[in-house]
Structure 1
Amino acid sequence: TFVVKFFQRNGRPYPISSEDNLKVEITQGSYAIPSSTELGGCDPRSANTARVQFTAKRSGSYCISILIGPNPTHIRGSPFTDIYFLPTHPSPQETGFINYCSTVVCTEKTPHALFIKLRDKYGNLCPISQDFDASDDFAVDLVEMSTGKPIHSAFYWDIQPSLSRIALVLRLDNEGLYSAIVSYRGSALKNGEFSIIVLNSTESALVQKHSSKKSQTSGFCAKLMTQNNDRLNKPKRVFCYISPKQLTIKEYILKIIPKRIVTFRLCPSTKFQFSKSDNQSPSDDNNTDLSNQLLIIDDGCQPPVELMSDERNVIAATFTQFLLNNIGGSETFKDKQDFFYSEVRKYHQKSFHEKHQIRIDRQNLLESSIKATKSLTTSDWCKNFELQFIGELGVDWGGLRREWFELLSGALFDPNQSDLFQRFKNDRQGLVQPNPKSQFKLKYYEFAGKIVGKCLYESALGSSYRQLVRARFSRSFLAQLIGLRVHYKYFERDDPDLYVSKIKYIIDNDVEDMELYFSEDEYDMSSGKLIRTIDLIPNGSKVKVTNANKLQYLDALALYRLSTSVREPIEHFLKGLNDLIPDNLLCIFDENELELLMCGSGNYSISEFKANHAVSCGNYEFRKILDWFWTAVSNFTDEEMARLLQFTTGCSQLPPGGFQELNPKFHITSAPTFGVLPTAHTCFNQICLPEYDSYEQFERALRIAITEGGEGFGMI
């Protein structure tokens, strides 16, 4: 907050009012900072004051310009440029490890450094002085998992002011498995929880040797304790083989004939769990030794398996090193996204992004799009599509292409436009997944997959080419795109009505008297007649649901409704998608990250919008229009915000990083007209606002423009 006092030439106070056209502009680099100005006050002694408030979220140099009069003139000293804001105190919600990984592999008695960058609540990097003592503010809770014993004095801090970071240096003397939680002033860091595998020097060299070769497959001996959710009466001798793509468990019949038992994909969704065996008693002398051998593997796609192995830590460490190599060395979404884009560019490095003209009939959008692209090779799909809508004069400088992707997303994924996809909940907020009763041929799903792949490829080329998919995909559909197992918990988000009316009721109540069986009845929607009964498991119509197996029944129901019934559409969708994007790259994300990658942000922050836009024309009249614009936008629903984005940028979804990743920035400029509808140039993310007599006229014109003027191109 700062106060400006106004005086006449003779030194007497000058009572400031709205008629004086006071204007305060605050900028930080290219960013315009929103502010509020309060003139005068109840006390006559403050009649000559203006109180200005703003929030400086970014550290750095600021410029404040204060202008007054009908022809705005700077007051004495304006613009004020010698203003610098420092970061505030570090925030544990923003401070975290660089290149974070949930599992850290170390060698005993060897220092291992993990780097932390301190950031304030707005994400600004906090400077570090040479005399900074991290032990005063940071705490590390280190526990040996097998015994639960806390470990002290196994780490120290190294301050690196020149790199604006501090290093947590681990030095553990004994091999084993540890858990760590790092906190700042009593609050855990945003990624401050992780596991630590400590190997001896021989094991460490072995893991390094295994993971350094791309084609290397490593084998380890183990005992299989469970299979298909059943505990084996006698542990089975098996071998674990780890390659850069998968972990396979095999047994050998007659010691020479290999038989595969289960395969886990080498991706972040495959989780390792370490816990004590159920059949061990506390009095067992070998309790600690056995707990050091136990390894549970679960990928979310198939029943988890439980293993016992003397090489448990080496297995987990080898898997972790392969995984880090596959995802670029970090588990944060931003790092994985950057790695994904880099790998996509490498995968298509022999394809040239030259222009390829496509003519589309707007009145027959889907069919003409399929016809225009049916003969294209994978290399052709990597070209820069230059769109021309038949019968329209628009020239494609990027805006037509973005509009085509936007309209095509609606034609493919909006159930109101086609029945390729369906909603379980019949409203605009319902999530969509493939429709098992669609009238369209399977080739349409393959085309839909190619369009999503094309959007991801274009996004990998840089922000100026970024394309987003306008769709709200169900979580179960996204999970299947990355190979995850579907289970009943997906109903809660995908089909909330069914979850509340049936799934949750079965979970919370006794089912013994419900006469439920492992089958699903299918009815005709128009007549209500029973068409057929589908067994969810072999002979399911004869297997009664009990309290003991009701969760298995719900999983089987989810598998049928969300997966089995739409298997062919999903397979063809993946065929088209994987033509452009390899499945091993998609698998580095979970289903929520995949939606963010493909569809961008669906939540709109007005404060973020105000902090990430550009304005042209600074006269007083336009300032009034700009104030009206922000007033209108602040009252928009999410749908209206999406329409505003579609009208101005050609796409209703934001990039993963929100408004700050729009390129060019959202640009607001004045139009040399009066009383007509606003116009837009989607190639430049620019909206042009005319002048109006009143706010009511402005708001009505803006709503009409974004609602009815969001499609079609005439002249540039």
Structure 2
Amino acid sequence: MGNCTEMFNKKKNHNQSRICPTCNQNIPGTNDFNQHFAQCQRNRNPIQQHAPNQNNNQGQNQFPNPSLINNNPNQRPSNQPQNTNTHQHHQNRGLRQNFVWTKVYDEKDKTKYTWKQVEVGLIVEQELIKQLSNTDIKNFSFEEKQIWFRYKLEQLRIPWTEGAHWMEIHTDNVLLTSLTAIDLVDLHKEVKISINGDKVQDAGGLLREWIHMITKEIFDKNTGLFSLADSEEITYKINQDADKCDHIMNCFRLFGKVLGKAIFERIPLEAYVDKTLVKQLLGQPVTLDDIYSYDQQLYKSWLYIKNNKLKEDDFIGYMSFSRKTPQGMIEIDLIENGQQVEINEKNKQQYIDLCIQYISYKSVKDFIENIQAGLYSVVPKHLLEIFDANEFEMILNGLPFINVEDWEQNSIYKNGYTKTHHLIQEFWRILRSFDQQKLEKFLHFCTGSSRTSVEGFKKLESNRGNYAKFCIEQVKYDQSNPYPKAHTCFNRLELPLYPTKELLNKYLQIIVNNDLDGIFGMEQTACLNHIKG
């Protein structure tokens, strides 16, 4: 196999043969090779090729989602401090630089999953991956799909040398000013954020902060666009009772554009949307398993109907859906005269399918179409269709936990600090004592985002599609301004050379124990000055 790989990696002209890395056949001619290779990929079983070995965990790190609460395997991080024991167990895991985190669902119960660290291994060279069609790339691993996807997005990017577009945002009403500003920019260009009329230096950090703030407002219950899903997870679903006025439609379209820009710039979102919306955005059919993240009680009820045979004298209802509205309960016919047609063994699957279709699409059709229009204006639909729902969620939300060991291993130091410096050693000791909530706040302070992609800290995003490792730079300790300063555009923290460990701990604790949401422009000033005392 070594000789085959060596031959495959050599540059060849159109008339030379190439070795197919899947079947090892010698294929003459570039065009014939590309067709043969694509067919080989379609024929292979991608699940067997790339799914983690369920029976042998050697070479993998596996543990449940570290935000578990009450033994719920899919619990999202809550507003409460995380379980310290779970967090410590997670941090002490050994890390490998050629591994990525992936969410793996239980084969028997598709509503349950665990996070695993899986080795990255490309079957083919990157240049060949980039040449594949969107149909052929579907048969590849998630890592290979990401290479193809990011390459296609970069082809859409307008070079920064052609100038940037500015969005003027006012902090007293981020949502309304964003609605106006976003229609005036090309989201394929570099977008800079002007705060309250001030055009400060922005190389990407303010954009990440804006995406954090606008998504927070969009999901706020007072906005009326989304509501919490009826499940144990902190997940949002479209509010069926939202107004259908132009303003609300524009808000949903804005949300789609924000999703698109976040994906385009590789900025993970903190808020989760339910699986039915994920499927609609990908143009994929919604199944009963997807209802688990939408309404757990409906899921259990319909699963029971599906798995249990109905006798002739069993009565469980009619072919209609009961919907709660602000005006009271209403009945929606699922078929013609559905309120007169009883559910029985023969039509129960039709009943379940029609209920799923109603709650996941028909009842929110106008809202979904506006989200799709906004999203697809930034990221074309055919590029998204290569992913399954699980993969798309990993792109959209990144990792739901922070691993301090990964963070430390992928950090660099400047201006006198080194990884062995006594203050740096104490810095990481303090971070390891933080729970997940505090770690998220500190990462957000330093980078403008509280999450990383599934690649972790080795691929921490900067701007213009570039990566920039987390950097701690030594600066002089000044008693009149003793606070750390974050340059979120470059993932850089200016850390004063504190004379004592106690002072270091004091000012790090100030960062994580105060609400910094809405504080823009961290590059310009030590943004904690207003918290003195």
Consecutive unaligned residues in structure 2, runs of 5 or more = 1-7, 10-16, 27-35, 38-42, 58-130, 461-466, 526-533
Distance in 2 (alpha carbons) for counterparts of 1:115 and 1:634: 43
Say which is worse superposed, 643-652 or 631-640, in terms of deviation: 631-640
Which structure dedicates a bigger proportion of its chain to helix?
2
Distance in 1 (alpha carbons) for counterparts of 2:360 and 2:21: 42
Check the 8 A contact 2:286/2:356 in 1, yes or no: yes
Cα separation, partners in 2 of 1:519 and 1:361, compared to 1, 3 Å: same
Which of 579, 599, 611 is 2:377 aligned to?
Answer: 579
Which of 240, 245, 250 is 1:436 aligned to?
Answer: 240
Which of 519, 538, 545 is 2:320 aligned to?
Answer: 519
Distance in 1 (alpha carbons) for counterparts of 2:187 and 2:132: 30
Q: Which residue of 2 aligns with 1:406?
A: 212
Which of 431, 441, 447 is 2:254 aligned to?
Answer: 447
Check the 8 A contact 1:392/1:713 in 2, yes or no: no
Consecutive unaligned residues in structure 1, runs of 5 or more = 1-97, 100-110, 117-154, 159-168, 171-176, 191-322, 460-465
Distance in 1 (alpha carbons) for counterparts of 2:419 and 2:55: 50
Q: Which residue of 1 aligns with 2:116?
A: none
Q: Secondary structure at the match of 2:305?
A: helix
Check if 1:481 corresponds to 2:281. yes
Cα separation, partners in 2 of 1:655 and 1:616, compared to 1, 3 Å: same
Which of 488, 502, 507 is 1:701 aligned to?
Answer: 507
Check the 8 A contact 1:360/1:390 in 2, yes or no: yes
Q: Which residue of 2 aligns with 1:387?
A: 193
Check if 1:506 corresponds to 2:305. yes
Per-residue deviation, residues 661-681 of structure 1 (Å, max 9, x unmatched): 112111223443378443311
Check the 8 A contact 1:617/1:669 in 2, yes or no: yes
Check the 8 A contact 2:419/2:425 in 1, yes or no: no
Q: Secondary structure at the match of 1:115?
A: coil
Per-residue deviation, residues 289-308 of structure 1 (Å, max 9, x unmatched): xxxxxxxxxxxxxxxxxxxx
Per-residue deviation, residues 319-362 of structure 1 (Å, max 9, x unmatched): xxxx9532565612222222222223435669975212222111
Amino acid at match of 1:668: I
Distance in 1 (alpha carbons) for counterparts of 2:494 and 2:156: 40
Distance in 2 (alpha carbons) for counterparts of 1:426 and 1:486: 17
Aligned-pair Cα RMSD in Å: 4.1
Cα separation, partners in 2 of 1:539 and 1:704, compared to 1, 3 Å: farther
Check if 1:333 corresponds to 2:132. no
Which of 160, 166, 170 is 1:357 aligned to?
Answer: 166
Cα separation, partners in 2 of 1:549 and 1:695, compared to 1, 3 Å: farther
* Shift in Å, 1:484: 0.9
Q: Secondary structure at the match of 2:256?
A: helix
Equivalent positions of 1:663-702 (< 5 A) are: 663-673=467-477, 676-690=482-496, 698-699=504-505, 701-702=507-508
Which of 229, 243, 248 is 1:424 aligned to?
Answer: 229
Check if 1:368 corresponds to 2:177. yes
Distance in 2 (alpha carbons) for counterparts of 1:381 and 1:509: 51
Q: Which residue of 2 aligns with 1:115?
A: 21
* Shift in Å, 1:416: 4.3
Equivalent positions of 1:467-616 (< 5 A) are: 467-500=267-300, 502-509=301-308, 512=311, 513-524=314-325, 529-530=328-329, 532-616=330-414
Equivalent positions of 1:302-313 (< 5 A) are: none
Q: Which residue of 2 aligns with 1:69?
A: none
Q: Secondary structure at the match of 1:422?
A: strand
TM-score (norm 1): 0.50
Check the 8 A contact 2:279/2:285 in 1, yes or no: yes
* Shift in Å, 1:629: 2.9
Check the 8 A contact 1:421/1:432 in 2, yes or no: yes
Distance in 1 (alpha carbons) for counterparts of 2:470 and 2:342: 59
Cα separation, partners in 2 of 1:352 and 1:681, compared to 1, 3 Å: closer
Check if 1:647 corresponds to 2:454. no
Per-residue deviation, residues 230-286 of structure 1 (Å, max 9, x unmatched): xxxxxxxxxxxxxxxxxxxxxxxxxxxxxxxxxxxxxxxxxxxxxxxxxxxxxxxxx
Cα separation, partners in 2 of 1:640 and 1:114, compared to 1, 3 Å: farther
Distance in 1 (alpha carbons) for counterparts of 2:304 and 2:273: 26
Distance in 2 (alpha carbons) for counterparts of 1:332 and 1:371: 40
Q: Secondary structure at the match of 1:688?
A: strand
Equivalent positions of 1:60-71 (< 5 A) are: none
Distance in 1 (alpha carbons) for counterparts of 2:497 and 2:447: 22
Cα separation, partners in 2 of 1:114 and 1:639, compared to 1, 3 Å: farther
Cα separation, partners in 2 of 1:539 and 1:627, compared to 1, 3 Å: farther
Amino acid at match of 2:182: T
Equivalent positions of 1:128-527 (< 5 A) are: 325-327=133-135, 329=137, 331-347=140-156, 353-376=162-185, 380-390=186-196, 394-412=200-218, 414-416=219-221, 418-425=223-230, 429-439=233-243, 440-457=247-264, 459=265, 466-500=266-300, 502-509=301-308, 512=311, 513-524=314-325
Distance in 2 (alpha carbons) for counterparts of 1:708 and 1:610: 25
* Shift in Å, 1:389: 0.4
Cα separation, partners in 2 of 1:522 and 1:182, compared to 1, 3 Å: closer
Identity across matched positions, percent: 25
Per-residue deviation, residues 507-535 of structure 1 (Å, max 9, x unmatched): 4555553432221122345x8x43x2001
Amino acid at match of 1:518: M
Distance in 1 (alpha carbons) for counterparts of 2:283 and 2:396: 17
Structure with the bigger RCO (C-alpha within 8 Å, sep 6+) is: 2
TM-score (norm 2): 0.65
* Shift in Å, 1:636: 3.2
Q: Which residue of 2 aligns with 1:75?
A: none
Per-residue deviation, residues 442-499 of structure 1 (Å, max 9, x unmatched): 1111122122223333x3xxxxxx4343431211111111111112211223333543
Q: Which residue of 2 aligns with 1:139?
A: none
Check the 8 A contact 2:231/2:295 in 1, yes or no: no
Amino acid at match of 1:634: R
Amino acid at match of 1:643: K
